[in-house]
Structure 1
Amino acid sequence: MNSTLKTNEMSNKTVLNSQEDFYKDIFHQHTNDEYAQAIQLAQDRVTNFLKENKKPFSGIRPEDMRKKVENVDFDTPLPDYESLLDEVDELYVKHATAFHLPEYIAHLNCPVVIPALAAEVLISAINSSQDTYDQSAGGTFMERKLIDWTSEQLGYDSDADGIFTAGGSQSNLMGLLLARDYYSLEYQKWNIKLDGLPPDASKFRIFVSDKAHFSNHKNAWILGLGEQAIVHVGIDDRYRMDPVQLEKAIAREIEKGNIPIAITATAGTTDFGNVDPLDSISQIARRNNLWLHVDAAYGCALLLSDKHRHLLSGIEHADSVTIDYHKSFFQPISSSAFIVKNKLHLNIIKHHADYLNPKEQNYDALPAQINKSIIQSTRRFDALKLWCTLRYMGKEKLGQYTDTIIETGKKTAELLDNDENFELLCHSDMGALVFRYINGPAQSHPCNVNQYIKEKLFFSGEVLLASTKVNGEFYLKFTIFNPLTTLNDIKHILNLIKQNGNDYQRLN
């Protein structure tokens, strides 16, 4: 009998050990060692990424990168975490863009703060979903408090509300969706959610500046209005929406028999980093009963700065606002928010499902953030990153980072203005500068030389610049978005641009 019991015990242990080995890759109470090993190896790669990168890009060409990736065989698993992380290192980490280096000066990619990275570890491992209270608990109220805090920074009162989103384009979509549906409900007594677009929806018009974000056009299409619903408004000499031209554009559309429903103003244009005159635009919106959405994905940094906050004057009158913390609050992607001045407007997008957010539930007692979301049911607890950042660093320090960036942008503009080898189009509220290299006033084909400069610097990996077109002409662009970038760094980059420009002249 004893022999039989021992045999059974040994058999059971064998089964348990076999099961534990089979499930060792799942994050649970018995795999802490496995988890610690994987995280440590990943951390080692991050540490090496910081130590070894002396330039922002390896310079690898797409065809070489494609071959490396295509050679991977998914049907043959790797034997251990060391092998796995070695492969990831070779395919991704070694060639990843190093946004933290001052020679990266291209797009709206910020260096990230360490408290937010600590939060990422918790977010990924615990894996809460923010759609309902029973999936997030404390996360629900932490996100709500951050929305309330952001609303206060905008100048809204306790009637405001909002939700974290995946990014600025999604937040802008929510702004136009509410504008469209609110107009139909308020002025046409038509419920788009229930009945689809009204017969005259093809006449709906949304006014944006010539330099507004491209998501306005995509979102108009997604909303069934077509890109023809977007009306481009002329700009002033700093590439901001011109209020006089806005009023004329609204009048013209009315004369044509079209129906103005909304204005999208931009606080921090992607190309020039300038803020539309929000006070004047908000007055025009009120006079014409138009929904005002402000895309502050870039310019929301000004909320952090006592010195430059005045540039957002008038944003408190907007019906809705886009905020990108993963641009201007130094947060890892993704971390964005959509804020509305009147929380009742969010009822437009509410939809009930018996298995998730039943209609009879008391949402004051048992809240559900999914009631405020349009395209994300399962949603990460990205708010924790901002929570950790504010609690550890505080608004004032983040504001000092912003002030430093703006000051560096102003000094860079002065350098460009005073150098005969450069043509600067305009100064910036934020630090985005559009310019081009010229070799004297009589230089021909400046587009060609500037395209050459950008490509040569990119594939050397030394400097990553952005570019854009203005009136059909090719320009280089600095997006100064790193408080660690100094004026000496800028001078070094400008010298490299000159060297490559001079090389082009010799070759041609």
Structure 2
Amino acid sequence: MPSTPSPLTALTPLLQEVIAQSLAFKDSEDVFARRATPHALRDLLLEDLPEQPATAQAIWEDISKRLLPYCVNMNSPRFMGFGDTGADPASLVAGIFAVLAQQNLINQSFCSPSGTMAEIAVIRWLRELIGYPTVPACEVTSVWEAGGITTYGGTGSNTTAMMLAREHTVPGTLSDGVRDPERFGLVVPRGVGHYSVKSAAAWTGCGTYLIEVDTDHFRYDLTALAQAVKENAGRLMAVVAYAGDSRTQTIDHLRAVHDTVRTADPTVWLHADACWGLMAALTPRRRHLLDGIEAFDSVTVDPHKVLNVPYATSALLVRDPAVLRMVSSYSDLIMQEDYAFGQVTPQLGTKEWTSLRAWAALRSQGRQGLTRMMDERLDRTEAFATLVDAHPQLMRLHDPDLCAVAFCYLPPGTHPGTATDTQVERLNAVNRAIHRRLMDEGRWHLHQFTLPDDHGHIRRGAVLAPLRFMSINPRITTTHMRDVLDYVTRLGQEASR
């Protein structure tokens, strides 16, 4: 008699259906199939736990009917506000396998024998890309030689960096606790920093003793930076610089920041948030912008932002691999071995094999493919910036370093460069109205946030509410760019009446 397939093997046809429908979803040009208010979705999905069991087929049918139509498709060429497509083919294959393989990277010998080594390989590749040295592979005898950790996002990586900065500033704080919060000041650029750094300082018990330094063209004013470091001598935990800030993706002058800080204070921890800036390492056209990053004590990078891999893979890289011992933990329950990442990954117990997605993307692209991918992004950035510059009712607000272009619609009567308070308020109101329409309709997506006018295009020092385009998605064509700008213009004209 033929053998009865196991329950898991019997899932094969259903999984094929799931994969086919999910790929069709990602291949669609629609940002959303349907739009609904939060309360409508609440009423649709918040329900009592069912009494009766259901089959996997029934669950998938429910997902297809009630969840999938309302999901955002970040791989749509009309979704231009972020770059997190999650559509790298090799990463998708690896991600599916990693879910099924169920490896736990807290431990190597019996929880993740090969997965641990693949994760170390990813960390080493990322270190090489930003210019950190790596020891020969034959000398990697434990996680302590890896030189970094992976986390589930830039916030987690930045939080670990702030833990390292805290321990570097006052050794033993991990065990003794914070006794003088004012000892842990944190220098950040005013108006362009990411929320995770401030939150990380609070989460690690250091409070929010932020020292915000003025910027010039979205980079540190170096004179003001030197003054801030000197004035707060003995009360600083870290200085944070952005290799691609979260608004305009401007890369700071990293070598100058390093030299300025080290001259004023040779010991303060230097951290670079390169969650976006990792892109610059992929191409000779931008690699020079990262000069000096290899001298920083720690660097955060986000492969899921840069490599089109599915959520969520981030990494914290450290110049000196030994510093991770400052925040290590140990238990003979499961981490009693040299290659256990559980020793060096704060806040995580079970550790999903998310790094395999980055491993697959890096392996499949190779250095040549990564360069080609990034150069194509830069070409799209330049094409979009050119279209904005040629439009009489649009204003570009910065010179793009990477893939972001922040711009705004100019209502009639706006005087660029010398706009009055009233004109700035009206400009922001109109651009916010444009963004609300985009969000409500769901046909196009551009991001919005507040941004200091560091270039003085509207009025230097004014806080603006621009729209942001991002060129990472390879499906975006020049036609898409023209169409979204035409649509923004129409919405702006309607909102200005």
In which range does the TM-score fall when normalised by the shorter chain?
0.7 to 0.9
Query: 1:428 — aligned with what?
Result: 400
Please name the residue that 1:100 is paired with.
75
| 1:88 maps onto 2:63 in alignment | yes
Alignment gaps of 5+ in structure 1: 1-16, 21-28, 186-190
Matching of residues 341-360 of structure 1 within 5 Å: 341-358=319-336
Q: 2:147: which partner in 1?
A: 161
Per-residue Cα deviation, 1:30-66 (whole angstroms, up to 9, x for no partner) = 3233331331231132144145553456332222222
Equivalences for 1:103-182 in 2 at 5 Å?
Answer: 103-133=78-108, 134-158=110-134, 161-182=147-168
Distance 2:128 2:30 in 1: 41
Is the deviation greater in 447-456 or in 433-442? Answer: 433-442
Give % identity. Answer: 23
Could you tell me which residue of structure 1 aligns to residue 465 of structure 2?
474
- Per-residue CA deviations over 1:57-106 (Å, capped at 9, x if unaligned) read 63322222222113x44314464333322211222211211111221011
CA distance in 1, matches of 2:431, 2:335: 55
What is the root-mean-square deviation of aligned Cα atoms in Å? 2.1
SS in structure 2 of the partner of residue 310 of structure 1: helix
Aligned to 1:455: 436
Distance in 1, Cα, partners of 2:175 & 2:55: 53
Displacement of 1:120 in angstroms is 1.2
SS state of the match for residue 504, structure 1? Answer: helix
Give the alignment's TM-score, normalised by structure 1: 0.86
User: 2 CA distance for matches of 1:325 and 1:193?
Assistant: 29
Which of residues 378, 383, 397 is equivalent to 1:411? 383
Match of 2:36 in 1: 60
CA distance, structure 2, for counterparts of residue 466 and residue 405 of structure 1: 18
Match of 1:396 in 2: 368
Q: Structure 2 length as normaliser, TM-score?
A: 0.88
SS where residue 105 of structure 1 aligns?
Answer: coil
58-67 or 87-96: which moved more?
58-67
SS at match of 1:226: coil
User: CA distance change for structure 1 residues 242 and 37 in 2, over 3 Å: closer, same or farther?
Assistant: same
3-state DSSP of counterpart to 2:348:
coil
Contact 2:31–2:445 under 8 Å retained in 1: no
Structure 2 CA distance for aligned equivalents of residues 184 and 50 of structure 1: 48
Deviation track 1:478-501 (CA, whole Å, cap 9, x = no partner) reads 233212212221111000001112
Select the residue among 277, 294, 297 that pairs with 2:253.
Answer: 277
67 and 259 in structure 1: CA distance in 2 versus 1, 3 angstrom threshold:
same
Q: Is the 8 A contact 2:327 2:346 kept in 1?
A: yes
SS in 1 for 2:450: strand
CA distance in 1, matches of 2:33, 2:253: 37
Shift of 1:504: 2.3
1:286 match: 262
Cα deviation for residue 148 of structure 1 reads: 1.3
Structure 1 distance, partners of 2:367, 2:34, is 35
3-state DSSP of counterpart to 1:394: helix
Q: CA deviation at 1:434?
A: 1.9
CA distance in 1 between counterparts of 2:38 and 2:251 reads 36
Q: Does 1:489 align with 2:480?
A: yes
Residue by residue over 1:285-319, the C-alpha shift from the partner in whole angstroms, topping out at 9 and shown as x without a partner, is: 33312111110011111121122111111111011
Deviation for aligned residue 1:131: 0.8
Q: Name the stretch that deviates more: 485-494 or 336-345.
A: 485-494
Structure 1 441/410 Cα, relative in aligned 2: closer, same or farther at 3 Å? farther
Higher Cα radius of gyration:
1
Structure-2 residue corresponding to 1:14 = none
Note the C-alpha offset of 1:415: 2.1
- State the shift of 1:201 in Å: 3.4
Q: 1:258-337 alignment to 2 at 5 Å?
A: 259-287=235-263, 288=265, 289-337=267-315
DSSP-derived class of the 1:464 partner: coil
Maintained 8 Å contact 1:111/1:482: no
What residue number does 2:344 align with?
372
Distance of aligned partners of 1:399 and 1:300 in 2 relative to their CA distance in 1, 3 Å threshold: same
Letter in 2 for 1:466: H
Amino acid at match of 1:200: D
Match 2:170 to one of 174, 184, 189: 184
Q: What is the one-letter code of the residue matched to 2:272?
A: V
Partners of 1:108 and 1:43 in 2: CA distance: 22
The count of aligned residue pairs is 462
